[in-house]
Amino acid sequence: MFQAYSIKKSTVVNANDVTDLKDKYLCVFCRAEVTLKAINCPKTRPHFAKLPSIPHIDCPCNLFGSVSENITGYEKFDISDILNNSPLSIKSDKHSNNNNNRSKNASEAIERISTPKRLLKYCLSHDINSEYKDGILICDVCLDTRNILANNNYNGFDGIRLVVGKTIMYFDDKDQRYFTFIVNNPSNKSKTLTAKVNVSKEQIIDIRNYIFNTYQKFSLHPIAVLGEWTKTGDNTIECTVTRPANVIYRFANE
């Protein structure tokens, strides 16, 4: 990851901008301690890495564990195509899986960002202010704790975006089925955004059962939703998800 929470500065910082090597840094998603790597290394960009002795419990960063170290480039699809599972992204995803099966030991690999989970991996593992595609920045594609304060994002917005936060509660009856989650910033928890997600009966059951069976309570579990959002009030947004893959709540290494 290229960004972490600085203990001394009480804010999120970029690895490239770190000058105080005595500072301590935390994962921006779960607050586990991380360490700065590749300082003054000509071949590798400075970044923050997990400490082997400190697990990231219930953290979306656990997705990074399944990223191939052999990736040398990315083929990035439009966020609207990923949201709607367009024929182009479906074809690419099948092509990518076939290539991976044929060349698991290859020294090079192209990662195709054609599914919500792959989009989430890419956005969380790269600098929030770096380019995603065609002049569009990751901060325009993804909203999480790193950029919730930027441009008053906590006030809400309209449009397609991948939103990453922590679960609050769920509601399930014959007329309404939805769950809510919140996005905040470790340096200013008073400025938060609440997201409401309408889902099918089958999906709310799957989400509820997984979280309760794994963690015994529904709240404060990491979740990511790719949706077409509508601002419904101050600090609130809402979307309806009809495609289960657009809600990500199962993370590796749990």
List all residues 6 or more positions away from 227 whose beta carbon is below 8 Å from its beta carbon: 83, 160, 161, 163, 197, 239, 240, 241, 246
List all residues 6 or more positions away from 151 whose beta carbon is below 8 Å from its beta carbon: none
pLDDT at 31: 80
As a whole number of angstroms, the distance between CA 27 and CA 7 comes to: 11
pLDDT at 22: 81
Q: Are 247 and 241 in contact (CB under 8 A)?
A: yes
pLDDT at 16: 78
Task: Give the single-character DSSP code of 54.
Answer: S
Is 3.40.50.300 the CATH number for 71-248? no
pLDDT at 9: 83
pLDDT at 40: 67
Determine the length of the chain.
Answer: 254
As a whole number of angstroms, the distance between CA 152 and CA 139 comes to: 13
Task: Give the single-character DSSP code of 41.
Answer: -
Angle at 59 between CA 57 and CA 61, to 5 degrees: 120
pLDDT at 71: 64
pTM of the model as a whole: 0.80
- Looking only at Cα atoms, what is the longest distance across the chain? 59
pLDDT at 38: 74
pLDDT at 6: 84
Task: Return per-residue pLDDT of the chain as tens, 254 residues.
Answer: 778 888 888 888 888 788 777 888 888 877 888 888 877 676 667 778 888 777 777 777 776 654 444 566 889 999 999 999 976 555 555 555 544 444 444 445 788 999 999 999 999 888 899 999 999 999 999 999 999 999 999 999 999 999 999 999 999 988 889 999 999 887 777 889 999 999 999 999 999 999 998 888 999 899 999 999 999 999 999 999 999 999 999 875 54
List, by residue range, all CATH 2.40.50.110 domains of the chain.
Answer: 71-248
As a whole number of angstroms, the distance between CA 124 and CA 113 comes to: 13
